[in-house]
Structure 1
Amino acid sequence: MSDTPTPLPENPAPDPWLGLRRYTAARIALGRTGTSVPLRELLAFRLAHAHARDAVYSLLETERLLGELEEFKLPIYHVRSQAENRSQYLQRPDLGRTLHEDSSRALQDSAPASSDVALVLADGLSATALNQHALPLLRLLVPRLQQASFQLAPLTVAEQARVALSDEIGVALHAQLVLILIGERPGLSSPDSLGAYFTYGPRPGLTDDARNCVSNIRPEGLSYPAAAEKLFLLIQESLRRQLSGVKLKDETGLLE
């Protein structure tokens, strides 16, 4: 047996997945060095992981957000869940689903008699997503809802919030339907993905089968115009049929 190493081919076959990288941010066609991925891909993975961790601990830019929301000429409430801080929020998901007593009392004391749609903006698992994408989306969605003569409840900004917190907010605001824009769980290629969940007939205790979701709202995912159009059509249909969740299918045909 010869001790001479086998030379590597001068022109190795191209990775058959390489052409697909233009269509997705998923980690495909990374190549390899021996039995490992190339150093540049390993470093890129570690950077993406750091971005995801940063997004989980990111803070809502509350003052800026509250100021910018004034352009919609709607009352604005600022509430928080029972989770006292980020650490408790991550360890106790149940506390993020229930309003703090002070916030609950404030909503009930000044809520309108009735409304069609309540809009909630929540940090969720990525305040970065809400900071970056909520206002551009609302600037397209709110006018559509108003032009359709839907009565909008006051806007609500919620901190340390889970999706189900919107049910309690919807009840307090006497809303037929509640829509919450919330930062989604960060992925290794999407630390700033915004999700939109809406529920007809909100009330505490509902499970996810009662909701509809439009996810990955961001320039690299579902564009603002496409998301606003899809949400408007789904909300319109939800109010017309008086239901949401698994009984309401997305028949808009809209992709991006």
Structure 2
Amino acid sequence: MTDAESRADGDDETALDRILEASPSRLGVGRSGRRPRTASVLSFRADHARARDAVLTRVSEETIERAGLHKITSRVSDQDEYLARPDLGREISDATVTELREACIHAPDVQLVVCDGLSSTAVDANVGDLLPILIDGLEERGFTVGTPLFVEFGRVDVMDAIGEELEAEIVVNLIGERPGLNTAKSLSAYLVYGPERGKPTAKKSVISNIHPDGLPAIEAGAQIVELVATMHEQQGSGLDLE
């Protein structure tokens, strides 16, 4: 091998090291003959199992109680129905409507909602840190904050039904993102101004990738508060924002 070839090989190794440091993707894992290495296969299976668990397990009661969340459910009755009928996860029953009107603050500036979504792990991992920061930040800005809610088997658009019934100006929905093989702890914050049933996704704003290795809870809380203030000022969300 010539000196030039040796330098080129060295440069390639250095470049691969830099890529591996910068990316969580499964790169440079190597092979053993025609098959992946045992360690790579086991790592993949473990990450896949964590992703499945995030979807199929429920948010812990301890998380809900510690966060001071009032628990309600969507129209979904169980996990199988939740996965098969997304439409039911976007709505609440008449009994739940009555419960909201009797137990919750009416017409708040900001209604906070937490949904399990597609990752209970994300809710367990982030809400305990994020929610207090969010409430404190909103109240410091002078917003009235509604009774924080946890919706079991909730989809994103359940925020519209809740906000409409409580006549909230703005709703913030903290919901578990669909888990990937890199992390099952990622949370999203969806925000809507003037919530009403049937409001299109384009009229909603979103801050995503909230997790310890992505957007930290403290920073996410600050960003959400700033976005709420902008929505309040411009009286819109999503594509309605300048």
Higher helix share: 2
Secondary structure of the residue that 1:199 maps to in structure 2?
A: strand
2:241 corresponds to which letter in structure 1? Answer: L
Q: Assess if the C-alpha contact under 8 Å between 1:15 and 1:31 holds in 2.
A: no
Is 1:243 the counterpart of 2:241 in the alignment? no
Range that drifts further, 109-118 or 186-195 = 109-118
- Please list the CA deviations of residues 19-58 of structure 1 after superposition, one character each: whole Å capped at 9, or x if unmatched: 2222222222222333433221122111111110111011
The aligned residue for residue 190 of structure 2 is 197
How far apart, in 2, do the equivalents of 1:15 and 1:83 lie?
52
Range that drifts further, 235-244 or 12-21 = 12-21
- Please list the CA deviations of residues 161-197 of structure 1 after superposition, one character each: whole Å capped at 9, or x if unmatched: 0000011111122110000111110001111111111
How far apart, in 1, do the equivalents of 2:234 and 2:27 lie?
42
1:81 corresponds to which letter in structure 2? Answer: S
How far 1:108 moved relative to its partner?
A: 2.5
Q: Assess if the C-alpha contact under 8 Å between 1:116 and 1:150 holds in 2.
A: yes
RMSD of Structure 2 on Structure 1 (CA):
1.9
The aligned residue for residue 215 of structure 2 is 222
Identity, in percent, stands at 33
Q: Assess if the C-alpha contact under 8 Å between 2:174 and 2:190 holds in 1.
A: yes
2:88 aligned residue (76, 84, 95): 95
Q: Assess if the C-alpha contact under 8 Å between 1:82 and 1:98 holds in 2.
A: yes
The aligned residue for residue 6 of structure 1 is none
- Please list the CA deviations of residues 186-225 of structure 1 after superposition, one character each: whole Å capped at 9, or x if unmatched: 0011111111111111111112111111111111111112
Range that drifts further, 104-113 or 162-171 = 104-113
Q: Assess if the C-alpha contact under 8 Å between 1:118 and 1:153 holds in 2.
A: yes
Range that drifts further, 216-225 or 108-117 = 108-117
Is 1:149 the counterpart of 2:115 in the alignment? no
Structure 1 residue runs of 5 or longer lacking an equivalent are: 1-10, 71-75, 250-256
Structure 2 residue runs of 5 or longer lacking an equivalent are: 1-8
Q: Assess if the C-alpha contact under 8 Å between 1:18 and 1:29 holds in 2.
A: no
Q: Assess if the C-alpha contact under 8 Å between 1:117 and 1:175 holds in 2.
A: yes
How far apart, in 2, do the equivalents of 1:140 and 1:95 lie?
31
Is 1:30 the counterpart of 2:29 in the alignment? yes
How far apart, in 2, do the equivalents of 1:66 and 1:111 lie?
16
Secondary structure of the residue that 1:79 maps to in structure 2?
A: strand
- Aligned pair count reads 233
**What's the TM-score, normalizing by structure 1?**
0.85
- Please list the CA deviations of residues 90-117 of structure 1 after superposition, one character each: whole Å capped at 9, or x if unmatched: 0111111111332122113344342100
